[in-house]
Amino acid sequence: MKRARPCLMLAACSAWVFTLACGGGSSHKTNPIAPSGQNVASIMVDSGPNGNYANGLFVSVTVCVPSSSTCQTVPNVLVDTGSSGLRILSSALTVSLPQQKGANGSVAECLPFISGFTWGPVQTADIQIASEVASSVPLQVISETTFPVPSSCKSNGSSMDTVQTLGANGLLGVGLAAPDCGSLCAETGASNPGLYYNCTSSGCTVSAQAVAQQVQNPVTMFASDNNGVIVELPAVSAPAPSLNGSLVFGIGTQSNNGLNGATVYTVDHFGNISTNYKGQPLNGFIDSGSNGLFFNDSSIPQCTQATGFYCPASTLNLSATNKGTNNASGTVNFSIANAETLFQGNNFVFNDLGGPGSDFDWGLPFFFGRNVFVAIEGKNTSGGLGPYWAY
């Protein structure tokens, strides 16, 4: 499972380290779900391509050779509001995409995650989701065979280059940032975080990469409805095998994507809001790519078998308060159940799964019964200038 979390700054360097987990349900108003429209893609929470993914949110993405009719629809792509950019496993691709070239070779990227890294060439494709199309988008093809993985990338931990290790056929990053790194990756010298590489026959070395040539959030490259997304999922009252919802593109651009009274929470330079849990202020972020709620509470027993999750003796009813940099605030009620008990059945949708984490990661259970808005940095919306979360 992927655990996703941004590691670098918005605008300056917005690459996000991923975190998968499962988190608690809360009491709140249930919002309507857009059933259809040219800006609406169907999404599903289910067990994923391996048949064992807890709280994985998936969508199908069509990838085309630029300016051609040579296309392929890739299913089981994880929807991730905690990162930016499309990443597809090479094993899931049947179309051959053009390689992006740098000044001194072919461009590749190493993206670090909490649980490992993705490595592979940066290529270019036309991307279609629902009826929205983005042309000539840089994306990462996850592969360790096109170019050997450099040692500097391997230092990030385990490779997630297969459907078994990634748990999906790819990642669709529709987070707060436009490029996946930003201006720091365009610089030379020690300030460059080392995500991008130029590769030749003699190997791959860290290289500066212009912002426009970095892996891009494809939503920003749509002709319209390009200022953000809404993740819409129904409420969950008990474990279930699967759950259907909608991914809506645009905020305030059409009749089906207005804020409708949602509260806007603006974020800091790192994409965080403030989450106060039991009197402790934490960096909070809202991440559909995390399969649970992750936060630190030493009073909650951790699982011995389902490592990385909490296993209280009975379900806990808890709360935390979110606050944006605009001082908007609100309390979120949630529950944490015993993960090992939850995993004993044939269900894969849980509203009360959680685990330990240093920040407060509002993972997929937070999305159940909410319309969660993700406004992209620098984009004008009906709720003001992004970046912000709203719900």
- Residue 17 confidence (pLDDT) above 90: no
pTM for this predicted structure: 0.93
- Residue 333 confidence (pLDDT) above 80: yes
- Residue 347 confidence (pLDDT) above 80: yes
Q: How far is CA 373 from the centre of its chain?
A: 13
Domain 1-391 in CATH 3.40.190.10? The answer is no
The tokens for 177 are 């940032």
What number is the average pLDDT over the span 162-186? 95
At 1, the amino acid letter reads M
Report yes or no: 72 and 59 within 8 Å, Cβ to Cβ: no
Closest CA to 20 of 79, 85, 92: 79
Closest CA to 8 of 139, 175, 197: 175
* Cα torsion through 74, 84, 44, 390, rounded to 10: -160
**Residue 335, pLDDT score:** 98
Residue pLDDT, tens place only, 354-385: 999 999 999 999 999 999 999 999 999 999 99
- Residue 216 confidence (pLDDT) above 50: yes
**Residue 385, pLDDT score:** 97
- Residue 3 confidence (pLDDT) above 60: no
DSSP 8-state assignment for residue 263 = P
Question: What are the residue boundaries of the structural domains of the chain, listed by start?
Answer: 1-391
Average pLDDT, the chain: 92
pLDDT band at 208 (very low <50, low <70, confident <90, very high): very high
- Residue 2 confidence (pLDDT) above 80: no
Residue pLDDT, tens place only, 80-139: 999 999 999 999 999 999 999 988 899 999 999 777 899 999 999 999 999 999 999 999
What number is the average pLDDT over the span 142-165? 93
* Cα torsion through 227, 243, 166, 356, rounded to 10: 90
**Residue 30, pLDDT score:** 54
Closest CA to 110 of 147, 80, 76, 79: 147
Residue pLDDT, tens place only, 19-76: 333 333 333 455 789 989 999 999 999 999 999 999 999 999 999 999 999 999 999 9
pLDDT band at 16 (very low <50, low <70, confident <90, very high): very low
pLDDT > 70: percent of the chain: 92
**Residue 144, pLDDT score:** 92
- Residue 4 confidence (pLDDT) above 70: no
Residue pLDDT, tens place only, 232-276: 999 999 999 999 999 999 999 999 999 999 999 999 999 999 999
CA 183 to each of CA 177, 193, 272, 377: distance values in angstroms, whole numbers, following the listed order = 12, 10, 19, 14
